[in-house]
Every structure is written in C-alpha cells, then in structure tokens.
Homo-oligomer: A and B are copies of this chain.
C-alpha cells in the first residue's frame, strides 16, 4: 500500500494568480487526509480531480488565513453536494466558533454532521487512530497556537510465505491469522516451527510529518525522527533570518537542519515568501545541509 502526498498549494499568504496558499492531500492506507485549507483549496481539489466525498478528516495547523480561509467554502460545498457522511475537523481551539459562526450567519448548515476536535495541548498528543493509521500533533512555535501533524501507518501483519507453509500439511488456512500475527507453529509431534521461517516481515510502516508554520525549533526533532517524508516550511532564505525570527518562520537552511537532525529520508520545503521570484534558491540553500531536499510545487505528488 503506497502513501502519497499531493501539494495543492505551497505559498505564503500574499495572493497571486499562480501561487496558492497551503493545502495538501495525504493518501495513506486508503484514507484521504486534507492538511490545511487556504483560500481556493476546493478549486485546487477539483483541479487535481480529488473526489470531495473521500475526504473525511481535515487537519488545520493554525488559524492564520493562508491555512484556513478555504475551509468554510469547502464545508459549504459539501452541503451543496448533499453530503451525509460525517466530517472530522482537527484544529486549534476556536476553529469550531470560526466555522459555526459563519454557517449560522449565512444560514448554511448542512445535513451532515461536523465533529470538531479542538486542540490546545502544547505537548505532542495522539489525535486520531484507526486500525491502520495514527496521527499525532507536532507542537510548533509560531505567532499563534500551531501544530504540525505526524501521520504514521501502524506496523502491518507479517506476510505468509506460502511456498514454505505448503510443506507443512498440518498448517491449515484457519492458522494463517496466527502466523500473520507473528506466532510460531507447533506440530503434533511437538516440534516448533519458528514464525520467521513461515512469514516475512511486514513492510516498514510509512510516516509523514507536516510542519508549517514555525520558527526553527529543535524540540520537534524527537517527534519527526526517521520519518520517510518531512514537509517543513521555508518561508525565507538565510538573507532574511532576522525576519524569520521576528515573524516566527524558518529559512530553507533551517528546514534542512531539522531534516538532518531528524535523520528523515526526504525533505520537502514550501511556504515561500512572495519576495523571492526564483524558488530554486530555496533548494540551493537547503542542499548542502540536507541533499535529499525537494521543492513543494503546486500539483506535485510525492510517493512516500
């Protein structure tokens, strides 16, 4: 089962015709998680042919407009499309009032239920779990209360080695689940066949960490350690490191340093300030610190 990240928008707040604010879609274990929802996200979802009905969980990092102003439009469109499936929205305390107040004033409540999961902890916490996937918060340091999100597959079942299993007529289909769960098999004669002989290890679970917006903060390294893919904001280059500090954003180099400290497999950077016309410079700055860095680009897909 592959996991895949699609960039719907990757620029900071200033509006431009060719630069959408933050929104991403993570497909993992057949779940479709929308991460942040800047203005125009619903149109970006249409553009990249992502079915609205597949989205059941939306994660909002913080309440700055370039990460959330598209949410009310998407929620309203779900209503127009006669959605009935429950929607879960995870975001900072206040997000419920933010949305419900608009629905009330525009008299636009839909028939489908919306469950808001309001976050206020400053420690990493488990906010979503099902049989295949967990989501934890990554507390970030920005001008307002902000979380990143760590998406992890659970360790799957072991894979049956059928050619070996078939050598043991005593092993029946009803025993397979125990084998998948890692149990050894005991023959009638008392001999024990090791599980590692009968199965192969499950694939390494995939993991994705989303970190936007934040000042350089090594405290997140222990949370994002060894992830397959890290998205870390890089609003500025080092030439504006003072501005990065005062606005609580990061530079491309700092994003690369976090990736290096976290020993992640791949880094994707984005949230570029509109002051930079050539975003290749972000990659050039990150590369010497962390070579496996790629630029977020609208419509680009990263296999995890």
A interface list, Cβ under 8 A from B:
13-17, 39-40, 42-43, 46-47, 63-65, 68-70, 72-73, 76-77, 80-81, 94-95, 97-98, 101-102, 105-108, 143-144
Residue of B nearest to A97 (CB): B105
Q: Can you report 21 residue pairs joining A to B where beta carbons are below 8 Å apart?
A: A13-B76, A13-B77, A13-B80, A14-B80, A15-B73, A15-B77, A16-B46, A17-B46, A17-B47, A39-B40, A39-B43, A40-B40, A63-B105, A65-B76, A95-B105, A97-B101, A98-B101, A98-B102, A101-B101, A106-B144, A107-B144
Q: Counting chain B CB atoms within 10 Å of each CB, which of A14, A43, A47 scores highest?
A: A43
Count copies of this chain in the complex. 2
Residues of B with C-beta under 8 A to A144: 106-107
Residue of B nearest to A108 (CB): B65
Residue of B nearest to A145 (CB): B107
Return A236 CB to nearest CB of chain B, in Å.
15
Return A175 CB to nearest CB of chain B, in Å.
52
Return A59 CB to nearest CB of chain B, in Å.
17
Residues of B with C-beta under 8 A to A43: 15-17, 39-40
Residues of B with C-beta under 8 A to A105: 63, 94-95, 97-98
Residues of B with C-beta under 8 A to A63: 105-107
Residues of B with C-beta under 8 A to A64: 106, 108
